[in-house]
């Protein structure tokens, strides 16, 4: 258990830990930003509900990193299994009341470190263009916009190498620990 005020980033092992709650916040917010606000998990697209109801199955083979403060999960990110020297960083979410504390930067930094440790040379991600704060964060952490690999409109695709880039460790809140 972490002390109040201290944030540790751990690799989620599938045990209870609030990951479903965090993913609920992520998906509900995303649908609302798309102009498709839903009343609850049951109204989300099936692919989103699966992640929330059974994240261990949805992300089997991937790494789910969780930021923990005072024993509670306050942020998460998923790093996909390596594929052709690349891994994707997705589902970055920090609880709104914990934003502005470097947790998202720490999660992305830990995700890049995890990918590098798995032999990945390139980390990639996609982000909705209206999430300007997230785009700015990723750029500060060394990601650059690349040609889209996804046909969805208004999606920005970004990549960076897993070798530390200038600013990549800014805001780091702790190394990845095993839960």
- For residue 1, tell me if it sits in a domain: no
d(CA 154, CA 172): 29
Cα dist from 120 to 85, 150, 163, 175, 176, whole Å = 5, 20, 10, 18, 17
User: Per-residue pLDDT averaged across 2-16, rounded?
Assistant: 73
Q: Is 51 helix (H, G, I), strand (E, B) or coil?
A: helix
pLDDT at 150: 86
87 and 124 Cβ atoms separated by less than 8 Å? yes
- The C-alpha torsion from 10 through 14 and 15 to 19, rounded to 10°, is 70
In this structure, what token pair is assigned to residue 132? Answer: 């300007």
Range of 94's domain? 7-177
Which of 9-13, 58-62, 82-86, 104-108 shows the lowest mean pLDDT across its residues? 9-13
Residue percentage of the chain with pLDDT more than 90: 73
Give the model confidence (pLDDT) of 106-161 as tens digits: 999 999 999 999 999 999 999 999 999 999 999 999 999 999 998 888 899 999 99
pLDDT at 37: 80
d(CA 113, CA 125): 15
pLDDT score of 168 more than 80: no
pLDDT at 16: 55
- For residue 103, tell me if it sits in a domain: yes
Domains: count for the chain: 1
- For residue 151, tell me if it sits in a domain: yes
Q: Is 98 helix (H, G, I), strand (E, B) or coil?
A: helix
- For residue 2, tell me if it sits in a domain: no
CATH classification of the domain holding 130: 3.40.630.30
177 and 10 Cβ atoms separated by less than 8 Å? yes
In this structure, what token pair is assigned to residue 88? Answer: 């994707």
- For residue 80, tell me if it sits in a domain: yes
User: Per-residue pLDDT averaged across 62-84, rounded?
Assistant: 94
29 and 75 Cβ atoms separated by less than 8 Å? no
How crowded is residue 130: how many other Cβ atoms within 10 Å of its Cβ? Answer: 12
pTM of the model: 0.86
pLDDT at 6: 78
List all residues 6 or more positions away from 98 whose beta carbon is below 8 Å from its beta carbon: 7, 67, 69, 74, 75
Mean of all residue pLDDT scores within the chain: 87
Confidence of residue 163 (pLDDT cuts 50, 70, 90): confident
d(CA 56, CA 13): 8
pLDDT score of 59 more than 60: yes
pLDDT score of 169 more than 80: no
pLDDT at 39: 87
């Amino acid at each position: 258990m972490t002390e109040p005020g201290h944030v540790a980033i751990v690799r989620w092992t599938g045990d209870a830990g609030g990951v479903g709650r965090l993913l609920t916040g992520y998906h509900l917010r995303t649908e609302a930003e798309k102009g498709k606000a839903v009343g609850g998990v049951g109204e989300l697209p099936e692919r989103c509900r699966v992640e929330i109801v059974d994240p261990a199955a949805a992300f089997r083979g991937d790494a789910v990193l969780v930021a923990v403060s005072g024993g509670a999960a306050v942020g998460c990110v998923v790093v996909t299994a390596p594929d052709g020297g690349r891994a994707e960083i997705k589902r970055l979410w920090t609880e709104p009341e914990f934003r502005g504390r470097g947790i998202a930067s720490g999660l992305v930094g830990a995700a890049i470190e995890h990918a590098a440790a798995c032999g990945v040379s390139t980390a990639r991600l996609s982000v909705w263009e209206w999430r300007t704060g997230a785009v700015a964060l990723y750029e500060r952490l060394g990601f650059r916009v690349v040609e889209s690999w996804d046909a969805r409109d208004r999606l920005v695709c970004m990549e960076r190498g897993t070798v530390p880039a200038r600013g990549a460790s800014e805001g780091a809140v702790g190394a990845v620990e095993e839960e």
